Amino acid sequence: MRHTATALLIVCALLAACARGAAAQQQQHITLTIEAADGAVLVRGPQAAVNEARAAVDAAAAPAWTAEQARAFILSNFAGRGLDALVFAEASAQGGKGVSRVETSLRRALLLGLLPPVEGLPEDAAAAVLDAAGLRHITRSDWDALSGGGQYAAIARDRRPLAVLAGTDPHDAAIIIYLDPDAKRGETD
Amino acid sequence: MTRLAYGNMVQRALAFAVLAVLTCALPAFAQVRNITGENRAALDQAIERLQHTELMRVTRGRVKSNPVMQPHFTIYQSVLQNRDLLLDRQLRDYAAALGGMQRASEDFSAFSATPLGARATDVFYSRLVSAYLLDEELEKAGTLWEVWTALQISGYRMQALPVMFRMALNAGRWLDSRYNGAPPADIQDAFLALCQEDVAPMNIFDEKDQVDALSRRWSGFFARISGVAPADGATEDTQ
């Protein structure tokens, strides 16, 4: 009798663990790119909702839509499901796989040709040099203050490389983030 | 004709051909400077010229088997006894600098291939040769301390060159993209003037300070062409 009860308890615990795992998987956030006629929409949210959104857009013949139309469709049909949709203004599908990121020190970034010379400059002068070089930039503190979605939006805004600088000392950290315009449709989590 | 005789004839013909090729190539070889040899001769000459007076100084005027220790005595010993090691270390610094500069050229190959990039590359290779060549400094040296100093400065200059070369190529690469491959003449002149700025560090800390200062001057240059004047000379360090 006692053995039967123990076995039942173990079976119940296993079932509960499996159910929790399945729920966690359902809640796992992924990022997916949906192609449209003039660009792409990056959808981020719980895996199940994102997959449903993709199926719905595919069923509604999305390639004929503009990216803005596809985004509006997703946001109106999946309101309250925790989805975040961003429109890429240029190029075609762009998923998280197209994002490459170099994290190094400022001096090393200069020696590798990733940034123009900004060592030792005050913040406004460094910003002017980076602007003139066609690089978008943000300070490390502002970057850390952004949410995950905010960081993604900052990266995806106009597809130019983004420099995240902690300062202009040679040993200050520098992150340079690139979006590959030729990246193919991809899924990331 | 036996096989042996035939073989001898072939050998002679080959030897003649090699000699002919070497004779033709000799003027070309003769024009190549053996800077390591020149440095060795200059160092030997300087040591020959200075060692008696300098040794008399470090031994308080007397030649003793167990000389009195003076400041920098080990440097005197080093210069007198380890000249091969010193020249070998200098040659290794030269080889390392040459390799580092070639890697930099490859990393910035797009800019190096432009006329401005080629001029900057020429400037840095001339600077490398001038840093390696010691004969003038050694001829001017009045003491063994100055001989030692000249060797040290030459080594540190060569160690700093690949980093400075990369800084210049990086600046050129961004100038090139900013002006669509055709920077104005005055900007090019200012760029080449900064390429020619030399450093003469005495030790590794000095080298770091001077390279940092040069990096800030490049930043100041970019701030100016971006329309921002560097504040109160913060980027215009003097060495």
pLDDT score, position B205: 92
Give A146's pLDDT tier (boundaries 50, 70, 90).
confident
Picking from A117, A120, A132, the nearest residue to B234 by CB comes out as A120
CA dihedral B138, B143, B145, B149 (to 10 degrees): -30
Lay out the sheet containing A162-165: strands in order across: A99-105, A173-179, A162-165, A136-139
Q: Distance (Å, rounded) from C-alpha B28 to C-alpha B185?
A: 37
The residue among B105 and A186 whose pLDDT is bigger is B105
Using the predicted structure, report yes or no on whether residue A138 has a pLDDT greater than 70.
yes
pTM of structure: 0.67
Q: How many residues does chain B have?
A: 239
Partner B contacted by A170 (CB < 8 A): yes
Contact at 8 Å (CB) between B148 and B47? no
With CB atoms and an 8 Å threshold, state whether A128 touches B226: yes
Q: Distance (Å, rounded) from C-alpha A126 to C-alpha A105?
A: 15
pLDDT score, position B7: 58
* Per-residue pLDDT in tens (0 to 9) along chain B, 239 residues: 455 555 566 556 645 554 454 444 444 444 567 888 899 899 888 888 877 666 655 556 555 555 555 556 666 677 777 888 888 999 999 999 999 999 999 999 999 999 999 999 999 999 999 999 998 889 888 887 888 889 999 999 999 999 999 999 999 999 999 998 899 999 999 999 999 988 888 888 999 999 999 999 999 999 999 888 754 444 444 33
Rounded to 5 degrees, φ, ψ at B190 are -65, -40
The residue among A148 and A120 whose pLDDT is bigger is A120
* A35: Cβ contacts below 8 Å, ≥ 6 apart: A62, A63, A92, A93, A185
pLDDT score, position B36: 87
The residue among A155 and A47 whose pLDDT is bigger is A47
pLDDT score, position B237: 43
Percentage of chain A with pLDDT > 90? 26
pLDDT score, position B6: 57
Contact at 8 Å (CB) between B179 and B188? no
Query: Strands A99-105 and A136-139, how do they pair?
Result: unpaired
- Optimal mutation site among A107, A115, A118, A131, interface B, most CBs of chain B within 10 A: A118
Q: What is the mean pLDDT of chain A?
A: 77
Secondary element (H or E) of residue A177: strand A173-179
| Bridge partners for A31 per DSSP | A44, A188
Using the predicted structure, report yes or no on whether residue A156 has a pLDDT greater than 60.
yes
In this structure, how many other beta carbons lie within 10 angstroms of the beta carbon of residue A82?
Answer: 13
Picking from A119, A124, A128, the nearest residue to B216 by CB comes out as A119
How do the domains of chain A map onto residue ranges? 27-88, 98-188
- Optimal mutation site among B228, B232, B238, interface A, most CBs of chain A within 10 A: B228
Best CA proximity match to A30, nearest among A86, A84, A69: A84
Phi-psi sector, B129: left (phi>0), alpha (psi -120 to 50), beta? alpha
ipTM rounded to 2 decimals: 0.72
pLDDT score, position B65: 54
Best CA proximity match to B117, nearest among B104, B127, B98, B128: B104
Query: Strands A162-165 and A136-139, how do they pair?
Result: parallel
Using the predicted structure, report yes or no on whether residue A121 has a pLDDT greater than 60.
yes
Summarised one tens digit per residue, pLDDT across range A36-89 is 767 677 788 888 888 888 888 878 765 577 878 888 888 888 888 888 887 765
Q: Distance (Å, rounded) from C-alpha B3 to C-alpha A102?
A: 69
Residue with tokens 């895996």: A47
How do the domains of chain B map onto residue ranges? 27-233
pLDDT score, position B9: 60
Q: Distance (Å, rounded) from C-alpha B72 to C-alpha B75?
A: 5
- Find chain A residues with C-beta within 8 A of B216's C-beta: 119-120
What is chain A's Cα-based Rg?
22
Q: Distance (Å, rounded) from C-alpha B85 to C-alpha B105?
A: 30
